[in-house]
Amino acid sequence: MDKNSVKNIVVNFILKALIVAVITLVLLIVMKTNVKFKTMYYKYVYDTNITFTKFNNLYNKYFKDLNINKINNSTKTVSDEKLSYSKVTKYKDGAKLLVSNHYTVPSMESGIVVFIGDKEDYGKVIIIQQINGIDLLYGNIDNVNYKLYDYVKKGDILGSANKYLYLVYKKDGKVLDYEKYL
């Protein structure tokens, strides 16, 4: 990189930081002086399901020149296969799929990992907030290939499942019918 391109990157970063600071200060001043705006703001921030995928899409749209994904050289396994299972039954809020042992679980849609951990009755779980706004819980997952807030592309291998794979589809906190998506 030459000096001019480094200078332009630094100037752009400082300009964007100043714009964010000005917007934040204006919001704080308006919230301090206008109770109605403050109530509306708090309702939107605390009661609305904010999707990380919207932020990711905005980030990629406006800050492509600073895209962190270009720096990340880690490799992930990608698959073109769709979910393959021999039987599906209703299970609690979602579906229970009968799969083979050591079945590699592909991501159904691109999105961001918003939860990894154990959930009662589902075992080890990974939840992907998909770009279509649907949160998809994958249950009974071993060997998870991702960390929290990683971006997952459609077809990426999330991990493996033994015998059963649980799926729960949710949007805005409401459970959706799995038959529509399988």
Alpha-helical (H) ranges within the chain are 3-33, 35-47, 52-62
- Specify the pLDDT at position 122: 94
On whether both 30 and 109 belong to a single domain, the answer is no
Is 116 strand, coil or helix? strand
On whether both 35 and 120 belong to a single domain, the answer is no
On whether both 98 and 149 belong to a single domain, the answer is yes
Would you say the pTM of this structure is higher than 0.75?
A: no
Phi, psi of 117 (to 5 degrees): 165, -170
On whether both 111 and 174 belong to a single domain, the answer is yes
On whether both 93 and 175 belong to a single domain, the answer is yes
On whether both 92 and 160 belong to a single domain, the answer is yes
Mean pLDDT, residues 147-173: 91
On whether both 66 and 109 belong to a single domain, the answer is no
Residue 75, in any domain of the structure: no
On whether both 106 and 152 belong to a single domain, the answer is yes
- Residue 145 predicted with pLDDT over 80: yes
* 129 vs 170: CA distance, rounded Å: 9
Total structural domains within the chain: 2
pLDDT in tens, 87-129: 999 999 999 999 998 899 999 998 899 999 999 999 999 999 9
On whether both 164 and 110 belong to a single domain, the answer is yes
Within 10 Å of residue 165's Cβ, how many Cβ atoms?
21
On whether both 46 and 116 belong to a single domain, the answer is no
* 95 vs 26: CA distance, rounded Å: 47
The whole domain housing 133 covers 87-180
- Residue 66 predicted with pLDDT over 70: no
- Specify the pLDDT at position 133: 85
- Specify the pLDDT at position 182: 78
Last residue of a domain, one of 70, 96, 111: 70
- Residue 81 predicted with pLDDT over 70: no
User: For residues 133 and 95, is the Cβ–Cβ distance under 8 A?
Assistant: no
On whether both 91 and 170 belong to a single domain, the answer is yes
On whether both 66 and 104 belong to a single domain, the answer is no
Q: Report which of residues 50 and 33 the model is more confident about.
A: 33
